[in-house]
Structure 1
């Protein structure tokens, strides 16, 4: 069952875009059109096959290749669970974020440039996630997964929501990035700017990972650390809400330099008593 679209009236006169980031709202104000420079260059497009774990060339002009580091769990949540999760999320305030998104953060305050972590008002992951985390941990790819941060993101085509190609931090956040995709299908685009010269692909390579509604996706290994990931504007056709969970890096785990802080953060996170900060 589709959930009614959110009330965007709180963000129709302003946006949170900074620097080169754009949403439809600020483009209309500035009468600009956002065009990715990489699209003017040659890009090799592949499609991820979750059964064979291969990246398959869309036009068959290049050889398929193994694409490790992506695990897709279809129907991770049921329709009824999705309805309940979205209803509970919409009871909390959504804050404007860049590139036409809205967000809810459940995690410590972090300054990645200065490498500082502050507990601040962090009160843990939300109660609605406790059962989901237990379910995740039953999957061998997520054995021992203990998330210390959750970020809910709300995408809508009315605002041209997207997220640019990027690599998640690896100083604080650990090996596995876990995302639950809700309300609509979308495509996660993985990209390698330098291409794959060993395969004769010297230009940018992109691998499209289709994310069905209510699925869970895990990025780890090469897909986590080498390949950038993005959600492009054209791949948001309806409202999309996702929840991304992140675990701690080795530096904050037992034996690491900041193990004491890590234990404190995990103790708070896994109390599941959190409110968005």
Structure 2
């Protein structure tokens, strides 16, 4: 297990046989074209991040062949109480110049833990400091809900009422996670202001030039959280795709969409559907 800038990497999360079973199932389902040369298979609700609209759409759960992956999450401490509400298969093929540009996953609806299971080929996730406006990626929303993990990756016990976080959390917790209580004008996307930043001694201009390279070996599990989730953009370069690579990306809800949150009514049906797993008829190649 490896922790660096608040991410978690577990090597050989899957066995070679599990990887083979998973890929057989994935390739038995048709792919949709995505951006930057990627192809995808997406299972999750319909989201409009700009207008902040969420609907179940045609989401009916996840393919049965992939259920064992989510079952294995239950044995990973950092994924305690993780409820998958989106699963996306992403294919990177060098013949199409596949890559993904620097970005931060949306912070209005997608929760703190960004999970990736890597298949077929080793690759690298490139992390660069985010220095843009906090209106991007709905980063301002991070100040409106409580963190899920502390800086050591341990689950923080949620208050009974998520909307009453300022009232119900302990003074110690409130001091440690000031971003939950701070007004927007003082908000920093760092998940923990009291946590140690190994780049604190660098000037702002030097920080802008810092690049962190995180290995993503095949069959590994990667979890981004905390500063790695909110203060750094992540990307995958074309040159880091030597041959076909597939990954499974998983998302959870932010606290407002969970039980007790102010948007819990919007999340309830999606959470219900996320517990379903369905079979499918494999694609028959007649050529």
TM-score bin (small chain): 0.7 to 0.9
Counterpart in the other structure of 1:103: 40
Give how far 1:197 is off: 6.8
Distance apart, 1:274 and its partner CA: 7.6
The DSSP-based 3-state class of the residue aligned with 1:146 is: coil
Give, in whole Å, the separation in 2 of the partners of 1:158 and 1:226. 32
8 Å CA contact retained: 2:127, 2:235: yes
In the alignment, structure 2 segments of 5+ residues that lack a partner are 132-198, 281-287
**Secondary structure class of the residue paired with 2:260:** coil
* Aligned residues between the structures: 212
Matches within 5 A, 1:118-197: 118-194=55-131
SS, match of residue 98 in structure 1: coil
Is 1:250 the equivalent of 2:255?
yes
Alpha carbons of structure 1 residues 247 and 274: separation in structure 2 relative to 1, 3 Å? farther
Matched residues in 2 for 1:122 and 1:79: separation?
30
Distance across 2 between alignment mates of 1:238 and 1:110:
31
Q: What corresponds to 2:214 in structure 1?
A: 209
User: Does structure 2 conserve the Cα–Cα contact (< 8 Å) formed by 1:193 and 1:204?
Assistant: no
Q: Distance in 1 between matches of 2:62 and 2:266?
A: 17
- In the aligned structure 2, how far is the partner of 1:193 from the partner of 1:204? 11
Q: 196, 216, 241: which is aligned to 2:246?
A: 241
Moved over 3 A (4+): none
**C-alpha distance in structure 2 between counterparts of 1:269 and 1:193, whole Å:** 32
Q: Structure with the greater relative contact order (CA < 8 A, sep ≥ 6): 1 or 2?
A: 2
Q: Are the equivalent residues in 1 in contact too, given 2:129–2:207 (CA < 8 A)?
A: no
Correspondence 1:79 to 2:16: yes
Deviations 1:208-248 (A, max 9, x none): 00111110100011101111111110000000000000000
Q: What do you get for the CA RMSD once the two structures are aligned?
A: 1.8
Q: Distance in 2 between matches of 1:249 and 1:109?
A: 15
Separation in structure 1 between the aligned mates of residue 272 and residue 62 of structure 2, nearest angstrom: 10
Asked whether the equivalents of residues 148 and 247 of structure 1 are also in contact (C-alpha less than 8 Å), the reply is: yes
- 8 A Cα contact 1:122 1:274, kept in partner: no
1:224 aligned to 2:224? no
Choose from 256, 265, 272 the match for 1:267.
272
Deviation of the 1:193 alpha carbon: 4.6
Return the alpha-carbon distance in structure 1 between the equivalents of residues 224 and 261 of structure 2.
Answer: 23
Residue matched to 1:199 = 202
Q: Structure 1 residues 202 and 108, CA, compared in 2 at 3 Å: closer, same or farther?
A: closer
CA distance in 2, matches of 1:159, 1:273: 31
Structure 1 position 264, deviation (Å): 1.1
